[in-house]
Amino acid sequence: MRRITVFGATGSVGESTLDLLARRDDVKVVALTGGRQVARLAELAQAHRAELAVTAHEECYGPLKAALAGSGIEVAAGPAAVVEAGYRQADWVMSAIVGAAGLAPGFAALSQGRTVALANKESLVTAGKLLMSEARAHGATVLPVDSEHSAVFQALVGEDIAAVETVTLTASGGGLRDWPLEKLAHATVADAASHPNWAMGQRITIDSASMFNKAMEVIEAREFFSLSPEQIRVLIHPQSLVHALVAFRDGAIMAHLGSPDMRHPIGYALNWPKRAELPVARLDLATAGRLDFAAPDLRRYPALRLAQEVMRAGGAAGAVFNAAKEVALDHFIDGEIGFLDMAGVVEDTLARHDAVTGLGNAAESLQDVLDIDATARRRAVEVIRARGRAA
């Protein structure tokens, strides 16, 4: 039996992971963690006969305990308990908490030498170098789950990374792709939170519309595959059928195609290094008919320009970028800033952090990263207030 833990079990990636696990009889679910969806967490823990269910919120302990009374399933609550779950013996761990909250639990699993399927892209954006060296130090394996990175990973099987010229990540353009630029400033949360091709959590769906998701993925690709900023490209591809392209020095390009269903990259990570049958729709190119591609317009998507600047700055820039982006997204969701203001807030926060603290200093420990994250969040709030006063 393979022992499996799922961080972020009640989320979009977590649910897709559990859907795949439910079809197998060779897995034992160790720990499931969630946040506020206590009833769903209890349901999943019972359905999968988990040993332990953990909610990230201390005030949710009572309701979770009550929902699992008599089940024999252990219950715990609070951020430290989520991290503790990462120390439990497991063979494969899904890291699918959203946001920087996923960082410490993922590190805990890596410190135990586990195989970690990494959906939480924020871990690589905020602490890529540290995370990869932690994995090496403990003999842990990190497998990509983000569909584009899984696609690149698959295109690189048997290849030498030194023979790669460029890596292209495709982007659907999100829910607002065809909106005129002038209208974007007025996009609401509902407008930005609907995606043409992928069913995902609300935050990443809005990040897809602003291209912050792709900006994060560019940085994620640099960290995961040790590429230079110049090697990573983005191409708009509205159909979301080609997930990534890897161009080699002999002029060949390997593309990864498939239906947009997260159960493919999750299943690939679950079965790696083998391939096994997966319940995903088969792509029929004759039915799809066409594949369109276009270069992204950087005036529409300042997040992509910021990603290049963050990669060139290195050091703390990724952590500041992510923290500012999360704060800006919170304020957009709460209706306090407009859709286009998010990029302005991130840019101003990076500039303020650079002016006061400097972006160049790399974090040397997880605690350093968490400190940078906290400082950057405070600065992002200050930036939002200052922009509000100036408006």
**Residue 96 contact, options Mg ion, ligand NDP, none, Cβ 5-8 Å cut-off depending on partner type:** ligand NDP
Which residue among 21, 56, 135, 219 contacts ligand NDP (CB under 6 A)? 56
The span of 122-130, 147-155, 281-289, 358-366 binding Mg ion (CB under 5 A) equals: 147-155
Minimum Å gap between C-beta 290 and Mg ion is 22
The span of 88-96, 141-149, 232-240, 255-263 binding Mg ion (CB under 5 A) equals: 141-149
| Residue 146 found at the interface with Mg ion (CB under 5 A) | yes
**Residue 220 contact, options ligand NDP, Mg ion, none, Cβ 5-8 Å cut-off depending on partner type:** none
First-to-last C-alpha distance (Å) of the chain: 59
* Nearer CB in complex with Mg ion: 10/240: 240
* Nearer CB in complex with ligand NDP: 128/352: 128
| Residue 220 found at the interface with Mg ion (CB under 5 A) | no
Minimum Å gap between C-beta 365 and ligand NDP is 20
Judged on CB neighbours under 10 Å (0-12, 13-18, 19+), 315 is middle
The span of 115-123, 174-182, 226-234, 274-282 binding ligand NDP (CB under 6 A) equals: 115-123
| Residue 96 found at the interface with ligand NDP (CB under 6 A) | yes
Minimum Å gap between C-beta 250 and ligand NDP is 31
| Residue 341 found at the interface with Mg ion (CB under 5 A) | no
- 36 close to 12: Cβ distance less than 8 angstroms: no
Q: Which residues contact 124 (CB under 8 A, 6 or more apart)?
A: 118, 131, 219, 220, 223, 224
* 23-26 LR contacts (CB < 8 Å, sep 24+): 23/279, 26/1, 26/2
**Residue 56 contact, options ligand NDP, Mg ion, none, Cβ 5-8 Å cut-off depending on partner type:** ligand NDP
Which residue among 61, 87, 198, 248 contacts ligand NDP (CB under 6 A)? 198
Minimum Å gap between C-beta 34 and ligand NDP is 4
What string of H, E and C letters represents the secondary structure of the chain? CEEEEEECCCCHHHHHHHHHHHCCCCEEEEEEEECCCHHHHHHHHHHCCCCEEEECCHHHHHHHHHHCCCCCCEEEECHHHHHHHCCCCCCEEEECCCCHHHHHHHHHHHHCCCEEEECCHHHHHHHHHHHHHHHHHCCCEEEECCHHHHHHHHHCCCCCHHHEEEEEEEECCHHHCCCCHHHHCCCCHHHHCCCCCCCCCHHHHHHHHHCHHHHHHHHHHHHHHCCCHHHEEEEECCCCCEEEEEEECCCCEEEEECCCCCHHHHHHHHHCCCCCCCCCCCCCHHHHCCCCCECCCCCCCHHHHHHHHHHHHCCCHHHHHHHHHHHHHHHHHCCCCCCCHHHHHHHHHHHHHHHHCCCCCCCCCHHHHHHHHHHHHHHHHHHHHHHHHHC
**Residue 296 contact, options ligand NDP, Mg ion, none, Cβ 5-8 Å cut-off depending on partner type:** none
The span of 152-160, 193-201, 219-227, 365-373 binding ligand NDP (CB under 6 A) equals: 193-201
Which residue among 13, 50, 369, 380 contacts ligand NDP (CB under 6 A)? 13
Minimum Å gap between C-beta 103 and ligand NDP is 10
| Residue 347 found at the interface with Mg ion (CB under 5 A) | no
* Nearer CB in complex with ligand NDP: 199/285: 199
| Residue 141 found at the interface with ligand NDP (CB under 6 A) | no
Instruction: Identify residues 209-248 at the interface with ligand NDP (CB under 6 A).
Output: none
| Residue 200 found at the interface with ligand NDP (CB under 6 A) | yes
Q: Return d(Cα 352, Cα 365) in angstroms, integer.
A: 23
| Residue 98 found at the interface with ligand NDP (CB under 6 A) | yes
Instruction: Identify residues 117-136 at the interface with ligand NDP (CB under 6 A).
Output: 119-122
| Residue 307 found at the interface with ligand NDP (CB under 6 A) | no
Residues 27-46, one symbol each (x = binds ligand NDP by CB under 6 A, - = not), give -------xxxx---------
- 243 close to 150: Cβ distance less than 8 angstroms: yes
What is the length of the chain?
Answer: 391
Residues that bind ligand NDP (CB under 6 A): 8-14, 34-37, 56, 82, 96-98, 101, 119-122, 146, 198, 200-201, 203-204, 262
Residues that bind Mg ion (CB under 5 A): 146-148
